């Protein structure tokens, strides 16, 4: 990035917190998601990563703090309103319709995200089948797909709603190494082609993050303990103690 480039904050979180009863799953988290950027979110199990994505998407209500989408305060807006503003989320546990066909899922997925919107054209559906590698399986029941393929289907359903900001929660879980590499390619392509303005990706696998982004947030016990490039955070002592150091 050049020194003169303006970094536009597409998503801005200011002191976001979430309590479940008395338990603070997310505490005072602030960050920005920028245009043309993929932000990695790493941290050990139970760190609060999924809860944080749910706060952005609107699946969980925000206990404290503010959330801005393109400068508009959406803190109290329900998920469907945020979706209409362009948010899309790929959940870790897929929300596909298992007894329906793959192509049918894609049609319904696009509609579900944008109730009342024009359905995707047949051409768009076929192009998405290609893009997510399911062109041969358009007519099979979604339940018969492998876990990895179901993740791809979920991603296709989300992308057909043409989101501008995409949150992905461990998108490579259940995927083979080859599938994970294709997932990294897709993430990069979406940003490079400006099909998506900004992305946040939760991943356990730091090598996956390295392939798609050089900007990461590290979460531990509900807070962001470090932010920066992968190299920066890997050399951060608090991070080494809390998370990455254990993998060395
Ligand atoms: N709906 C909920 N009710 C109560 N506790 C929850 C709920 N969702 C998450 N938690 C707790 O919040 C903490 C963070 O969970 P989560 O966000 O799923 O972490 P991560 O995705 O980093 O593994 C965990 O201790 C989890 O048990
Ligand atoms: Mg999680």
Q: Which residues pair with 32 in a beta bridge?
A: 12
Q: Is the CB of 22 under 6 A from ligand 1?
A: no
Q: How confident is the model at residue 248 (pLDDT cuts 50, 70, 90)?
A: very low
Q: Whose CA is nearest to atom 8 of ligand 1?
A: 51
What is the pLDDT at residue 247? 47
| Sign of the torsion angle spanned by Cα atoms 145, 146, 148, 151 | positive
- For the entire predicted model, the pTM comes to 0.92
For the record, the structure tokens of 147 come out as: 């876990």
Q: Is the CB of 46 under 6 A from ligand 1?
A: yes
Q: Which option is the CATH number for 1-77+198-248: 3.90.320.10, 3.40.50.300, 3.40.50.970, 3.30.70.600?
A: 3.40.50.300
Query: For residues 21 and 69, is the Cβ–Cβ distance under 8 A?
Result: no
Name the burial class of residue 99, with classes exposed (0-12), middle (13-18) and buried (19+) by CB atoms within 10 angstroms of its CB.
exposed
Q: Is the CB of 25 under 6 A from ligand 1?
A: yes
Q: What is the mean pLDDT of residues 8-25?
A: 95
- What is the rounded distance in angstroms from the CA atom of residue 103 to the CA atom of residue 142? 9
| Model confidence pLDDT, tens digit, residues 142-171 | 999 998 899 999 999 999 988 999 999 999
Task: Give the strand pairing for 37-42 and 87-90.
Answer: unpaired
| Model confidence pLDDT, tens digit, residues 93-139 | 878 999 999 999 998 877 765 656 666 788 999 999 999 999 999 99
Contacts of residue 204, defined as CB under 8 A and 6 or more positions apart, other chains included, come to: 42, 170
Q: Give domain limits for the chain.
A: 1-77+198-248
């Amino acid at each position: 990035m050049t020194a003169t480039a303006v970094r536009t904050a597409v998503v801005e979180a200011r002191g976001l917190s979430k309590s479940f009863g008395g338990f603070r799953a997310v505490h005072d988290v602030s960050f920005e998601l920028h245009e043309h950027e993929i932000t990695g979110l790493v941290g050990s199990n139970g760190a609060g990563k999924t809860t944080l994505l749910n706060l952005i998407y609107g699946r969980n209500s925000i206990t404290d703090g503010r959330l801005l989408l393109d400068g508009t305060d959406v803190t109290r807006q329900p998920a469907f309103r945020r979706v209409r503003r362009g948010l899309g989320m790929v959940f870790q546990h897929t929300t596909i319709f298992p007894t329906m066909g793959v192509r049918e899922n894609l049609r319904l997925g696009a509609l579900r995200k944008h109730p009342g919107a024009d359905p995707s054209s047949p051409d768009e559906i076929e192009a998405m089948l290609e893009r997510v590698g399911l062109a041969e399986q358009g007519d099979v029941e979604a339940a018969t797909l492998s876990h990895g393929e179901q993740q791809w289907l979920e991603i296709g359903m989300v992308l057909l709603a043409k989101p501008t900001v995409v949150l992905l929660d461990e998108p490579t879980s259940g995927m083979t190494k080859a599938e994970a590499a294709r997932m990294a390619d897709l993430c990069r392509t979406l940003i490079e082609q400006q099909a998506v303005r900004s992305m946040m990706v939760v991943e356990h696998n730091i090598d996956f993050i390295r392939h798609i982004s050089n900007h990461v947030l590290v979460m531990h016990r509900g807070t962001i303990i470090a932010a920066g490039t992968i190299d920066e955070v890997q050399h951060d002592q608090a991070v080494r103690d809390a998370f990455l150091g254990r993998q060395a």
